[in-house]
Amino acid sequence: MTDREAVEPSEPTLDTPPVGNVSSRRAIIILIVSALFITGAGLYRVNHKKPNVVKKITSETLKDTELFFGLVESVRRESRVSFPIHIQTGANTVSAVELHIRYDPKLLNNVTIEPGRFFQNPTVLAQSVNSDTGVALLIIGTLSPRRGDGVIAIFHATTAATLSSAMTLSFDPATQVAALGENETVVKSTTDATIPIAP
């Protein structure tokens, strides 16, 4: 061996990279793989969020309308009498009313029922009297729904000669009131009338 060969170090080959470089490359690869894994997991969570469940809230019908008979005075036998039927809508905007008024056909004859002035130019959808069952029916509607109070209908009849005690006019359970924004009847209460007989 010559002195020149002893002094000059051998050059590293391409097949055997320095140990320090290998460690650095491995560290960088591990960091890149870790970053990709974390990023991918985050994107998976973002793209697979649980859908928001929208709960349907059902509101109850606002029943705020009252029906009742007006001031009732004593009546005489064999006389023509009229009984106004009042409505108070409260917070309801009323568009139609279906009245079923019960009476005693043995005590009242020639019964009729007609719209009052609560609705302006109401449309009469049904109007009948069944003297066998003692039920007067009136269904009216309007293109101008409204709130407030007033006379929704008037019940007319002729008293019989056989009157001896007080008689009753009552609202049948089939009575209904329709209002804007409501799918069911908005009747809150009904008040029947007890009619005294004059001596």
Q: Which residues form the domain of 149?
A: 65-195
- CA nearest neighbour of 153 among 144, 143, 172, 140: 140
CATH assignment of the domain containing 151: 2.60.40.680
pLDDT in tens, 59-104: 689 999 999 998 888 999 999 999 999 999 999 999 999 999 999 9
Report yes or no on 53 lying in a domain: no
- The tally of domains found in the chain comes to 1
Do 194 and 168 meet the contact criterion of CB atoms below 8 Å apart?
Answer: yes
Distance separating the N- and C-terminal Cα atoms of the chain: 156
Q: With contact defined as beta carbons under 8 Å apart, do 108 and 79 qualify?
A: no
pLDDT tens digits for range 14-69 = 444 444 454 555 555 555 445 444 444 454 454 445 455 444 445 689 999 999 99
